[in-house]
């Protein structure tokens, strides 16, 4: 079982998607994202399986939650620097976790 101390090790921040690219090389339909996480962290790259529920133009400007303190991960030919958080819909496809109001970029989940 995870402890509260385990949870505190995760650095979860709010960012804004500033760029979305198709990612045809991925095994499952995915997008490559650039996410602005505020002045302290900057813009980071992420890969996410989102085409089933989102169009590229819907994602640009959307605020999302990301884990920013995992090591970078190779996803096919791309590097994912942060983990963009989502939950499965009824078809087990990703729905992003988003704030219901605009909040300052880089804000930390607590």
Indicate whether 107 belongs to any domain. no
Indicate whether 106 belongs to any domain. no
Cα–Cα distance measured from residue 68 to residue 44, given in angstroms and rounded to the nearest whole number: 9
pLDDT of residue 93: 96
Give me the CATH number covering residue 87: 2.40.50.140
* Percentage of the chain exceeding pLDDT 90: 99
Low-confidence ranges of the chain (pLDDT < 50): none
Number of domains observed in the structure of the chain: 1
Indicate whether 49 belongs to any domain. yes
Cα–Cα distance measured from residue 13 to residue 27, given in angstroms and rounded to the nearest whole number: 27
Q: Are 66 and 15 in contact (CB under 8 A)?
A: yes
- Could you tell me which of 93, 95, 71 has the C-alpha nearest to residue 82? 71
Neighbours of 85 (CB within 10 A): 16
Q: Domain range holding 31?
A: 4-96
The DSSP 8-state label assigned to residue 99 in this structure reads -
């Amino acid at each position: 079982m995870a402890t509260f101390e385990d949870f505190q090790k995760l650095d979860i921040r709010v960012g804004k998607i500033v760029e979305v690219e198709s990612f045809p090389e991925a095994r499952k339909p995915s997008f490559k994202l650039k996410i602005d996480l505020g002045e302290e962290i900057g813009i980071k790259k992420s890969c996410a399986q989102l085409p089933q529920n989102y169009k590229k133009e819907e994602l640009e400007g959307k605020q999302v939650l990301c884990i920013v303190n995992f090591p970078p991960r190779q996803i096919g030919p791309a590097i994912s620097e942060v983990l963009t958080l989502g939950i499965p819909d009824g078809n087990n496809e990703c729905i992003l976790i988003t704030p219901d109001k605009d909040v300052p970029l880089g804000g930390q989940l607590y």
